[in-house]
Amino acid sequence: MKSKQIKNFTARVEEMEGARRATGISSTAAPNPEVQEKAIRRSYTAEYKRRILKEAEECKEKGQIGTLLRREGLYSSNLTAWRHQAEVGTLDALSSKKRGPKARKHDPSIRRIAEQEKEIQKLQAKLKKAELIIDAQKKIAEFFQLYRDQKEEEN
């Protein structure tokens, strides 16, 4: 009886040798113990996504979709998300999105506007100084006029 169990076990192991994991790594290969510095996010083209969705639609028998996913190293959640994106109907939804902040388009008018605003601030400061000087001159002129008027009254 034990020899029969051992034969069944070895037959199962031989069947599983060709199997692949969802990550695409075969079960016979030894895993790399080194951790990568930065994980690389997988991205898929719109054409690839369409091809996989088409193949998944053609799967009619039980287990065919699972075989497809294992062969391609995908998860069922990928398929679900891609189906949803296809329902939305935009081609952009099927293409990979670049993550992070969007790149700014260089606009030459922005720099010119900043320079003009600086110049305006400088001119406004000059104008304020000039107005103070003019006010001071008016007050001095009034003072001297009053002084002259007093002297003329005395004479």
Each residue's pLDDT tens digit, 76-106 = 999 998 888 888 776 555 566 677 888 777 8
Residue 94's nearest CA partner among 41, 42, 49, 43 is: 49
pLDDT for 94 = 55
pLDDT number for residue 107? 83
What pLDDT was estimated at residue 71?
92
Task: Give the integer Cα–Cα distance in Å for 86 and 80.
Answer: 10
Contact by Cβ (8 Å): 73, 20 = yes
- Environment class of 133 (CB within 10 Å of its CB; exposed 0-12, middle 13-18, buried 19+): exposed
Domain ranges for the chain: 43-97, 107-155
pLDDT digits (tens, 9 = 90+) for 27-86: 556 666 777 777 777 888 888 888 999 999 998 889 999 999 999 999 999 999 888 888
CA separation for the pair 125, 101 (Å, rounded): 38
118 has a pLDDT exceeding 70: yes
